[in-house]
A and B are shown apart, each in its own frame.
Chain A
């Protein structure tokens, strides 16, 4: 159960869920592969921004 606390467990799940959720928004202008990649890129960028916020908030932990 300890595993569920780790970011490395939740992060891929969140990225996949986010991608599946956002991808339909790009479906009108992009083919399926590109729309999913773009959605994943957006989710990844958001995760990266969240990581940077975490560094700013608790720099001693990094």
Chain B
């Protein structure tokens, strides 16, 4: 889809993006209630075991509860005072577990609510299935299988995903895209040849070949994804899980070996105190919020009307180094318009307009139609009857289109080089002025299309390209984030260079063929870079599969959607930039909260260690001047529990993303979440200690 005369994305979304969200925002109150119930359900050890950090807390809670019920289980001298303290620690640990479960349940609940919104589009319907002998039978949509041929007509709900094999019709896709404007679907069209089950045909009739078995359609996959049913851990999550498990293991062994050391020092810390120390030391904050951050990342992508096939894809967006972007539709507005006719070889503008009209009468692209309009405005008339002529479609190989009349006259328009080759192959000569016109249009950043009739060149059509407003600023942002942008275009190098400079892309490839896309991606990947790209046509499918992040347009072919790891329901290629931002935000949020969680430990050492070894000269470490050893331990535990719900909004919303280099981001996050993670607990634990003293809890 890198042609110079075709429009890649004919249906650009309208209106502000926030107005086009198809997934309803679930009511917050209902979600919170569900999440609270779910938080208690997740106390089931079979579910708790999935999170190593929180499972250790779970085991500690069970132990503390047992010691609350009978404090003499481990210490024959223990009495009511110990029971009270054990009860407070048990409750605090239970709250820690519930808060972590709540965070995860809240994130999952938002996904489930979105899945319900999608499920409502999946009404079962009757379908007219065409049998091998041509007869039609009425069947339930659930009985349709891949390869079945069905007929749909005006008013019908399309029963399943399929490819249009005959007919032209307008389809209302608002059920999945939120876009009310109908979309034209037709057989043989690359970008308008696929339909989605659940959408409604408004007029005319289509013959479809079903492309997915029941339960495996586009909406089914979307439901499974937003619901989290197929959610598996991403590589980053796995790495972080290992790190957290290692830290937990180290602290478990360290705490388990403390009693003999304390015994030598003449101290006898209680088991509940040791459990409190363990829970304070292990990274419970990030352990409790880790899965919520991942689920929320998927949710944020879905809110942009983009469906990711996996969390891995969203996460990969955050590591992207190179963006490969098509010029048309992404950098420039999709519709280039004919601005001027520039005759050469002694021909007049009227003659050029007539030949341009003849070469464009079968061209239904916006460019083609704009050429027809401009020619007619200049008074040109078709020199033949359209019914008797044959349209020549544009192809990436020939890079020209046109028409052939029955008497053998060939009208062509296309890339200047292509037309030159065509004219010479027919024994004609190319006037010198053609190159001058070509350069003149190219320097203006426009696309020059040469026009010929047989072996005779008539001139150049100036197609004006309009760079999307604000795109330069977006590319500047990406550059600051260390992302390189490469523009692919079928245009000649001069035009491509002008557009690239104006748009501010880092590199461009002119006169690109579909194969060039794969070549560029492979070249970047060989350098160890991660590449993202968008595409919609079948010829984009190999490149979409090759790219680390491939975003297919919903208006695209089934092949493109299956090859990609994300589908944009709005079919807006510019959104790739937003998706990269969300991926970065996901990784930054995870990193920031991990930093905060680990930095938190420092204050807890100063709270619990002096309390644990109060009698052996470690009182000097009590820099917070906490009231008593028991109050210090309880304060650290309460802070540990409260910090989880305090960070839930940040985990779900994500750390605010600022476009800057990785080094700058690291410095900034270390300052805010590292230094903040060190300082905040000192203040928090001291305040809680004062509150415990005021309430006379201990």
B238 interface residue (CB < 8 Å to A)? yes
A2 to B72, CA, bound (A): 39
A10 interface residue (CB < 8 Å to B)? no
Whether the pair A56, B245 counts as a contact (CB closer than 8 A) is yes
Whether the pair A62, B252 counts as a contact (CB closer than 8 A) is no
Q: Mark A39-53, 1 if CB is under 8 A from B, else 0.
A: 001001100110111
B252 partner residues in chain A, CB cutoff 8 A: 45, 48-49, 52
CB < 8 Å neighbour of B63 from A33, A41, A56: A41
CB < 8 Å neighbour of A51 from B55, B72, B73, B271: B55
Whether the pair A34, B245 counts as a contact (CB closer than 8 A) is no
Whether the pair A52, B248 counts as a contact (CB closer than 8 A) is yes
A48 to B232, CA, bound (A): 24
The closest CB in chain B to the CB of A7 belongs to: B49
CB < 8 Å neighbour of A49 from B50, B241, B253, B271: B253
The closest CB in chain A to the CB of B59 belongs to: A48
A49 to B76, CA, bound (A): 27
The closest CB in chain A to the CB of B75 belongs to: A34
Whether the pair A52, B242 counts as a contact (CB closer than 8 A) is no
The interface residues of chain B, by DSSP majority, are classed as: helix
Q: Which of A1-55 contact B (CB under 8 A)?
A: 30-31, 33-34, 37-38, 41, 44-45, 48-49, 51-53, 55
Q: Which of B235-249 contact A (CB under 8 A)?
A: 238, 241-242, 245-246, 248-249
- Residue from B49, B74, B76 with most neighbouring chain A CB atoms (10 Å): B74
Known: A49-B249, A49-B253, A55-B52. A41 touches B242 (CB 8 A): no
B256 interface residue (CB < 8 Å to A)? yes
Known: A34-B74, A44-B59. A55 touches B245 (CB 8 A): yes
A52 partner residues in chain B, CB cutoff 8 A: 52, 56, 245, 248-249, 252
Interface residues on B, range: 20 to 34
A37 partner residues in chain B, CB cutoff 8 A: 73-74
Whether the pair A60, B238 counts as a contact (CB closer than 8 A) is yes
A23 to B399, CA, bound (A): 85
The closest CB in chain A to the CB of B237 belongs to: A59
Known: A49-B249, A52-B245. A31 touches B76 (CB 8 A): yes
Known: A41-B63, A48-B56, A62-B52. A53 touches B249 (CB 8 A): yes
B256 partner residues in chain A, CB cutoff 8 A: 45, 49
A34 to B49, CA, bound (A): 28
Interface residues on A, range: 10 to 19
The closest CB in chain A to the CB of B51 belongs to: A62
B50 partner residues in chain A, CB cutoff 8 A: 62
The closest CB in chain B to the CB of A49 belongs to: B252
The closest CB in chain B to the CB of A45 belongs to: B256
A60 partner residues in chain B, CB cutoff 8 A: 232-233, 238
Question: How far, in Å, is A47 (CB) from chain B's closest CB?
Answer: 9
- Residue from A33, A34, A49, A52 with most neighbouring chain B CB atoms (10 Å): A52
Question: How far, in Å, is A3 (CB) from chain B's closest CB?
Answer: 15
Whether the pair A62, B49 counts as a contact (CB closer than 8 A) is yes
The closest CB in chain A to the CB of B73 belongs to: A37
The closest CB in chain A to the CB of B50 belongs to: A62
The closest CB in chain B to the CB of A31 belongs to: B76
B246 partner residues in chain A, CB cutoff 8 A: 56
B52 partner residues in chain A, CB cutoff 8 A: 51-52, 55, 62
The closest CB in chain A to the CB of B60 belongs to: A48
The 9 closest A-B pairs by CB, nearest first: A55-B245, A52-B249, A55-B52, A37-B73, A59-B241, A59-B238, A56-B245, A59-B242, A52-B245
Measured CB to CB, the residues of A under 8 A from B are: 30-31, 33-34, 37-38, 41, 44-45, 48-49, 51-53, 55-56, 59-60, 62
21 A-B pairs with CB atoms under 8 Å apart are A33-B73, A34-B72, A34-B75, A37-B73, A37-B74, A38-B74, A41-B74, A44-B59, A44-B63, A48-B59, A48-B252, A49-B256, A51-B49, A52-B52, A52-B248, A56-B242, A56-B249, A60-B232, A62-B49, A62-B51, A62-B241
Having A41-B63, A48-B252, A62-B52, one finds 16 other A-B pairs with CB under 8 Å, namely A34-B74, A34-B75, A37-B73, A41-B74, A41-B271, A45-B252, A45-B256, A48-B56, A48-B59, A49-B249, A49-B252, A51-B49, A52-B252, A55-B52, A60-B232, A62-B50
